[in-house]
Amino acid sequence: MKIKLSLFLLILLQGVQAQQLVQYSLYMLNPYAFNAAVAGTEGSLIATGVYRQQWSGLKGAPLSQEINAHLPLFKINSGVGLRAENATIGAHQSTAATLSYSYHLEFGRNNQLSLGIGGGYFQYSLDGNKLRAPQGTYVEPGFQIDHNDPYLPEGKVVAGTPVAEGGILLKLKNYYLGAAVQPVFAPSIHTTKNGGLRLTPARHYVISMRYAWELNNDVLIQPSLLVKSDKTETQAEISCLARWKENIFAGTSFRGIGKKSKDALVIFGGFKLNEKTTLAYAFDVSLSQISVSNRGSHELLLRFDLNKPIGAGKLPPVIYNPRFL
């Protein structure tokens, strides 16, 4: 049964081998999600939470959540971070937790090279209770399930594996260039010698670019680019964000370069709730063939920035002026 089940899963997942990493439209506000080298490079404790509902109105559409936090370790020119992510597509679910470390090299003025690595655990599950076969028997409300098919599980099948990732980030004044390797959402499942399941996540490659242009004292323009590829399929997203007085921002993105990869037009915006907390929202207007069966995608992001250095060293001694004693 285990061998038949693994063969079923392998066939089922062949169609999603070219899946992209979990999609986030507000990637420019959450660069650590795609690159371990970002950890600690922002000079403060940064914590981010993201909730995304993709293709609203389409049954079984992707639903994802992520929380992450990273901070610098100034004394050793480094940074550390932790990321946890959950993604659901119909009966499929993946959960991952990753701890990362980055080393920072300063050169010149306002220039920095960061090298990051990460490791963690990736778990995949298939819930047979959510599957329906034409010849199956399904009784409500007791929810009795009989797929009448030896290849379909009638419960939840789970497999997991350790994962590793790496990245590099180059900051040159107002330019940000990054490249990373991460485990992709769509896994490969194989049969082991004892009839069990072995999970092997595929590698995914991410390239990111960003430029910060200060138009004047009040307005900042920030174009950015994100490219994701598993060597089979490639997806590119180009964005432009405009920020006013560091408090309010808005922008737009286009995902999918070329007719075959055209995916969505994104409109996003946000504002600071207070000095340390930012709230952002993005809406994707679907442009692909699936647009007729959904009402767009929604994404909500909450970002916390402690806005002060951590562990930068002891403060200089206080020298009191006798005139004010």
Length of the chain in residues, anyone?
Answer: 325
- Residue 91, in any domain of the structure: yes
Element (H, E) at 127: strand 111-127
Residue range 187-235, pLDDT digits in tens: 556 556 655 566 677 788 999 999 999 999 899 999 999 999 888 888 8
Average pLDDT over residues 247-252: 96
Distance, in Å, from the CA atom of 186 to the CA atom of 294, rounded to the nearest integer, reads 22
- Residue 175, in any domain of the structure: yes
- Residue 103, in any domain of the structure: yes
pLDDT of the residue at 124: 85
Task: Domain count for the chain, please give it.
Answer: 1
Q: Calculate the average pLDDT of the chain.
A: 84
Q: Does pLDDT of 14 surpass 80?
A: no
- Residue 28, in any domain of the structure: yes
pTM of the complete model = 0.84
pLDDT of the residue at 189: 60
Distance, in Å, from the CA atom of 83 to the CA atom of 49, rounded to the nearest integer, reads 10
Average pLDDT over residues 121-132: 83
Residue predicted with more confidence, 154 or 210? 210
Average pLDDT over residues 257-271: 87
Query: Whose CA is closest to 101, among 73, 75, 123?
Result: 73
Distance, in Å, from the CA atom of 7 to the CA atom of 188, rounded to the nearest integer, reads 11
pLDDT of the residue at 7: 39
Residue range 83-124, pLDDT digits in tens: 999 999 888 888 999 999 999 999 988 899 999 999 999 988
Cβ contact 204:230 at 8 Å:
yes
- Residue 320, in any domain of the structure: no
For residue 274, the enclosing domain spans 2-312
Stretch among 78-87, 233-242, 312-321 having the lowest mean pLDDT: 312-321
- Residue 168, in any domain of the structure: yes
**CATH number, position 66:** 2.40.160.40
pLDDT of the residue at 2: 41
- Residue 322, in any domain of the structure: no
- Residue 321, in any domain of the structure: no
Structure tokens at 58: 């389409």
